[in-house]
Amino acid sequence: MHEYTERCIRAVQSKDARFDGWFFVAVLTTKIYCRPSCPVSPPKPQNMRFYSSAAAAQQAGFRACKRCRPDAAPGSPEWNERADLVARAIRLIKDGVVDREGVPGLAAYLGYSTRQVERQLRAEVGAGPLALARAQRAQAARLLIETSTLPMAEVAFASGFSSIRSFNDTVQAVFALSPTELRRRTRPTDVAGTLTLRLPFRAPLCADSLFGRLAAAAVPGVEEWRSGAYRRTLRLPRGHGIVELRPTASAFVECRLTLSDLRDLTAAINRCRWMLDLDADPAAVDELLVEDPLLAPLVRKNPGRRVPRTVDGEEYAIRALLGQHVSVATARDRAARLAAVHGLPVTDPGGGLSRLFPAPAELVGLGPAASVPPDRPHGAFPRLVEALADGTVDVSRGSDWLRARAQLTAIPGIEPETVEVVAMGALGDPDAFTTGGPGVRTAAVELGLPATPAALARHAAAWRPWRAYALQHLWATDSLAAAPLDQECCGVC
C-alpha cells in the first residue's frame, strides 16, 4: 500500500481512517510520522514519505505524532490475510517471540536462517525483526506508563527492555518525551494490578455477532459473559492472566487485563486483538461479499462481521475436535468437564472464572475414563493432544496454513470440516471454508444458495479470499449461533 504514492496522498488529504495501519505518513519538515487520518492540516505532498510500519518510520528517524498516536493504530490487515514468510514472521513478532527468544528463535519457528528472515522483512516492511520488536516494546512501555502507577524501572523490564537506559532512550526517541513527561500528561487509573486499555479497530464492527458467538461457546470456569463483557482466563508465555473485553459505541473495545507477570502484556494484548479479529479490513470484505445478490442482504443488514478466533491455537484445536458432530452446547459441556478436572486453578475476584484450559501436555495419556468424552473409534483425541504436545502439529499464529492442514488431516478421525474450523479460528486463514454442518445447509436453503456441498463450494469460489467471513453470515442464520447479549449473564457462565 505505501508504494502507491498518489493513492496514499489522497488518503492523507481526505483524512481517511480506513487506511490507518495500512501505511504511515512521515513529514520531512517536522520529522514526525502520523496516521492517514491525523486531524492536523495535511502537509504538502512533496514533504510526505510513506512507510508500511511504525517501526520503519521510527528507524528512518521520525517520531510519533502526539495527536493521532500512530503507534496505537489498528494493525495492518495485510499480515493477517497472508500466509507467506513475512506475514508469519510479523504475527510471531507481535506475539513476543523476538523479546523472549531473539531473532534466532524467530528464525527457528519459521524454519529459515536468520539472514533470510532479516532480508525479507527489510525488503518488504522496511525494518528488521529487532526494529519491529523495538517499536512494539515502545508501545507496551507507553501503555504501562499511561495506565499504571508502576515505578519506571518495573515498566522498563515489564515492557521487554533489557536496561533502564535503553528504555529511556527508546521512549525519548519514539515519542519525543521522557517516560516521566509521558506520565505527567495522563492520570494512571490502575486498580489492584488491573490495566485498562483501548483496543482500536476499523469500523464497522458487528459486535453483537462477534461477542455473541464467543459467549455461546464459552466454557464455564474458563470463559463467561458477565455485566456486558466477555471474560476469560489466559495461558501466557510467562504466567497467566484474566481479560475482560467490553464492546463500546466508540471505535475501540475496552480491555481490562490482570496479569501474573507484566512481561506478558504485549502477548496478551495481541492475542486479544487476534481473538476479536480487530485488525480486519471490513470495508474490503463487505465490498466483495455484497457483489453476490444472494449474500448481499445479510451483508447490508450486518456490516463488519468478524471471525471469532482464539487466544490459544492448541486449546482451539482440542475444542474443535470435542465439538465434531455435536451441538455447540454439547461441545461446551465436554470442554468444561475437561477443564474442571485437568485445568490449572486461578483466582478471579471479579467474577466466576476458576480454571485455565489444560495444555496438551497435561492431557497426554488420558483414557476414556478420565473425564474425557467418549473418543472416536480412531482415537483422534489422544493422537491430537500427543501431536500438539510434541510439536508434530503446529496450530500457532505463525504456522504455515497448508502444512498445518496436512498435519491435522493426517490424524485419523479428524474430519475435513474440523480442519477448516481450526484453520479459521486458530490459524486465522480468512479463506477457510466448509460446506458441512447443519447450520450451513440450513442457511443455504433459506438464501437460495446451492444446497449440495459440491455446488455450494463452486458458488463460494466467488467469495474468495473472504470465505471465512461469508461463513459467519451463513452461521448467523442459525438461532443457536450466538448467545443473547442483553442480559446480565448469558446463561453459559
CATH of residue 159's domain is: 1.10.10.60
Shared domain check, 169 and 104: yes
What letters, b where the CB count within 10 A reaches 16 and e where it falls short, cover 149-171? ebebeebbebbbbeeeeebbebb
Tell me the β-bridge partners of 3: none
Shared domain check, 67 and 36: yes
pLDDT in tens, 245-281: 999 988 899 999 999 998 999 999 999 999 999 999 9
Shared domain check, 65 and 140: no
Q: Evaluate if residue 370 carries a pLDDT over 50.
A: no
- Contact by Cβ (8 Å): 65, 51: no
Task: State the average pLDDT over residues 185-197.
Answer: 72
Q: Evaluate if residue 454 carries a pLDDT over 50.
A: yes
Query: Is 460 exposed, middle or buried, given 0-12, 13-18 or 19+ CB atoms closer than 10 A?
Result: buried
Q: Is residue 51 part of a domain?
A: yes
Task: State the average pLDDT over residues 45-71.
Answer: 93
Task: Please report, for residues 62, 246, 270, the alpha-carbon distance to residue 172 in angstroms, rounded to integers and kept in the order given.
Answer: 12, 32, 24
How many CA within 13 A on the CB side of residue 233? 26
Task: State the average pLDDT over residues 388-410.
Answer: 96
Which residue do the cell numbers 459440491 mark?
Answer: 454
pLDDT in tens, 99-141: 999 999 999 999 999 999 999 999 999 999 999 999 999 999 9
**What is the reported pLDDT for 149?**
84
| Position 488 confidence tier, pLDDT thresholds 50, 70, 90 | very low
Please spell the DSSP secondary structure of 51-69, one letter per residue. Answer: ESSHHHHHHTT-EE-TTT-
Shared domain check, 156 and 83: yes
Dmax over Cα atoms in the chain, in whole Å? 71
Shared domain check, 117 and 38: no
| Position 369 confidence tier, pLDDT thresholds 50, 70, 90 | very low
Integer Cα distance of 321 and 343 in angstroms = 18
The residue from 21, 55, 72 where one domain ends is 72
Shared domain check, 94 and 60: no
Task: State the average pLDDT over residues 403-411.
Answer: 97
**What is the reported pLDDT for 190?**
57
Q: Quick count: other Cβ atoms within 10 Å of Cβ 454?
A: 9
Q: Is residue 125 part of a domain?
A: yes
Q: Is residue 487 part of a domain?
A: no
| Position 2 confidence tier, pLDDT thresholds 50, 70, 90 | low
Q: Is residue 396 part of a domain?
A: no
Shared domain check, 141 and 82: yes
Higher pLDDT, 185 or 292: 292
Task: State the average pLDDT over residues 47-76.
Answer: 92
Q: Cα 216 to chain center, whole Å? A: 19
pLDDT in tens, 24-38: 999 999 999 999 999
SS3 424: helix
**What is the reported pLDDT for 147?**
81
**What is the reported pLDDT for 14?**
93
To the nearest whole percent, how much of the chain has pLDDT over 90?
74
Task: Report the Cα–Cα distance between both ends of the chain, in Å, rounded.
Answer: 44
**What is the reported pLDDT for 371?**
42
Shared domain check, 52 and 83: no
The residue from 15, 49, 72 where one domain ends is 72
Least confident of 18-22, 102-106, 376-380, 427-431: 376-380
Kind plus residue range of the DSSP H or E element containing 252: strand 252-259
Higher pLDDT, 493 or 57: 57
Q: Evaluate if residue 482 carries a pLDDT over 80.
A: no
Q: Is residue 168 part of a domain?
A: yes
Q: Is residue 33 part of a domain?
A: yes
Domain count, the chain: 2
Q: Evaluate if residue 176 carries a pLDDT over 50.
A: yes
Average pLDDT, the chain: 90
CATH of residue 45's domain is: 3.40.10.10
The residue from 20, 46, 72 where one domain ends is 72
Q: Is residue 164 part of a domain?
A: yes
Least confident of 398-402, 415-419, 451-455: 451-455
| Position 365 confidence tier, pLDDT thresholds 50, 70, 90 | confident
Shared domain check, 90 and 67: no
Shared domain check, 180 and 125: yes
To the nearest whole percent, how much of the chain has pLDDT over 70?
92
Query: Is 15 exposed, middle or buried, given 0-12, 13-18 or 19+ CB atoms closer than 10 A?
Result: middle
Q: Evaluate if residue 81 carries a pLDDT over 90.
A: no
Q: Evaluate if residue 375 carries a pLDDT over 50.
A: no
Shared domain check, 175 and 91: yes
Q: Is residue 269 part of a domain?
A: no
Q: Evaluate if residue 157 carries a pLDDT over 60.
A: yes
**What is the reported pLDDT for 487?**
44
Q: Evaluate if residue 193 carries a pLDDT over 80.
A: no
Shared domain check, 85 and 163: yes
Range of the domain at 86: 78-147+150-184
**What is the reported pLDDT for 189?**
59
